[in-house]
Amino acid sequence: MMSEQHTHASTWKSKINALGPGIMMASAAVGGSHLIASTQAGALYGWQLALIIILTNLFKYPFFRFSAHYTLDTGKSLIEGYAEKSRVYLWVFLILCVISATINAGAVAIVTAAIVKMAIPSLTLNVGAISALIMASCLIILASGRYKALDNVSKIIIVSLTIATVAAAAIAMSRGMQMKPDFIEPTPWTLAGLGFLIALMGWMPAPIEISAINSLWVTEKQRINPSSYRDGIFDFNVGYITSAVLAVVFLALGAYVQYGNGEAVQMAGGKYVGQLINMYAVTIGEWSRPMVAFIAFACMYGTTITVVDGYARAIAEPVRLLRGKDKTGNVELFAWNVWVAGTGLAVIFWFNSAMAELLKFAMITAFIAAPVFAWLNYRLVKGDERHKLTAGMNFLAILGLIYLTGFTVLFLLNLTGILAAPK
């Protein structure tokens, strides 16, 4: 079966048919790191963090690509690969996923709810109740349509958001920077600003564990609509490159509209969304506010669905392997969907006031864990005989490991006080 997939000719039609998992990954990435973190980076520091965003996307590229590479080559998920290396890796991955799933599901749902509340001011429901309705609707979609619904929705959302954001950024750039004459430019290159940098890089373009989730989506796509290795990598590249370009575009939007204009930058995701939608309105025109609010909602809603589905799959898979079962049934998978959605809501209701801190914690945790899973992903494909790593890809992977490990060590030294910021 696998050999047949690898030998059929690659055409533009087969490439288009292969699109899906990579686009879903881009959709999951854009919601958290791009809409909020990238735009905040531009609003706070202008273009100063552009290089960090570009380098992080570049150095994480091999480790995300390896997820598609490994699954397309072997027919197995990355998580199965981890299990073959050691059950310890499986447990570490499972624990990390449980923590990430809970915080991330809550974070994306509350941002989605904040957009709804902003778009419909007359709505009497509070953010918690709206979040619950959003989660319930996500579960209905996942129960009824499963993967195909997710696949199609992701493509529509990402195209709409790309068009609106590129248009807004282009108009903003044509008007130039909005800095006040007395504005003093802050610098991110201090130990005090390291927390923001690490949080930004942790979710840029997405946490490394999303690579394992991407491999599960590839597995599902191969089951429904098998594609060749070349076409599967094409799908991955389209999703990843789109996500990386959009990260810079969102940075540009924040830099040209909000940087130095005298408006205080809201750091909580739910509150910042209002400022974000306003950026589109002041650049494209007030008429665009409802349209942009809808696109932002669609984007965050799509992210909520992918988070609930993706993390459920990522938890179900190591649980299956630890129990020695052949497969996860649809009922069990849906139970994990409900668990992710439920714990996400619990976080919203119990820790609403501390949501920004929890999200930052999740982003930092994601970055600290990144070198471990990056190294694991590298080990799984390094000895591959069917599609050997090119010298360039191998070199980029080694550079990426050095980059991720270096920043992690620097952050931990700062956190423990060994390398403290001057008071």
- The contacts of residue 332 (CB under 8 Å, 6+ apart) are 316
Which pLDDT band, with edges at 50, 70 and 90, does 7 fall under? very low
C-beta of residue 247 within 8 angstroms of C-beta of residue 34: yes
Phi/psi of residue 309, nearest 5 degrees: -75, -50
- How many beta carbons lie within 10 A of that of residue 45, not counting itself? 23
Q: Which two tokens stand for residue 32?
A: 């958290």
- The contacts of residue 68 (CB under 8 Å, 6+ apart) are 21, 22, 214, 215, 218, 232, 233, 235, 236
Cα dist. 1→6, 228, 235, 395 in Å?
9, 11, 20, 32
Residue 51 in domain: yes
What is the per-residue pLDDT across 236-263, written as a single tens digit (0 to 9) for each? Answer: 998 899 888 889 998 998 898 888 877 8
Residue 200 in domain: yes
Whole-angstrom Cα distance, residue 31 to residue 341? Answer: 17
What is the per-residue pLDDT across 145-172, written as a single tens digit (0 to 9) for each? Answer: 755 666 667 677 777 778 888 888 888 8
For residue 49, the model assigns a pLDDT of 92
Which pLDDT band, with edges at 50, 70 and 90, does 50 fall under? very high
> End-to-end alpha-carbon separation of the chain, Å?
63
C-beta of residue 73 within 8 angstroms of C-beta of residue 408: no
C-beta of residue 180 within 8 angstroms of C-beta of residue 261: yes
pLDDT above 90 (res 320)? yes
Whole-angstrom Cα distance, residue 138 to residue 65? Answer: 28
Question: Which residue's entry shows tokens 């179900």?
Answer: 316
Structural domains counted in the chain = 1
For residue 161, the model assigns a pLDDT of 77
Residue 230 in domain: yes
C-beta of residue 147 within 8 angstroms of C-beta of residue 334: no
More confident residue, 355 or 7: 355
- How many beta carbons lie within 10 A of that of residue 143, not counting itself? 12
- How many beta carbons lie within 10 A of that of residue 415, not counting itself? 15
Quick one: what percent of the chain has pLDDT higher than 70?
90
C-beta of residue 113 within 8 angstroms of C-beta of residue 130: yes
64-70-75 Cα angle (round to 5) = 130
Residue 70 in domain: yes
Whole-angstrom Cα distance, residue 197 to residue 156? Answer: 31
Phi/psi of residue 255, nearest 5 degrees: -70, -45
SS3 sequence of 141-158: HHHHCHHHHHHHHHHHHH
Phi/psi of residue 240, nearest 5 degrees: -70, -45
Of how many residues is the chain composed?
423
At 278, which CATH number?
1.20.1740.10
Whole-angstrom Cα distance, residue 373 to residue 81? Answer: 12
Residue 65 in domain: yes
Residue 306 in domain: yes
What is the per-residue pLDDT across 360-408, written as a single tens digit (0 to 9) for each? Answer: 777 677 777 788 888 988 988 887 777 788 889 999 999 999 998 998 8
Residue 421 in domain: no
DSSP secondary structure code for residue 420 in this structure: P
Helical packing angle, 289-323 and 87-119, nearest 10°? 160
Q: Which domain holds residue 227?
A: 2-415
Residue 420 in domain: no
pLDDT above 50 (res 182)? yes
> Rg of the chain's alpha carbons, rounded to an integer?
21
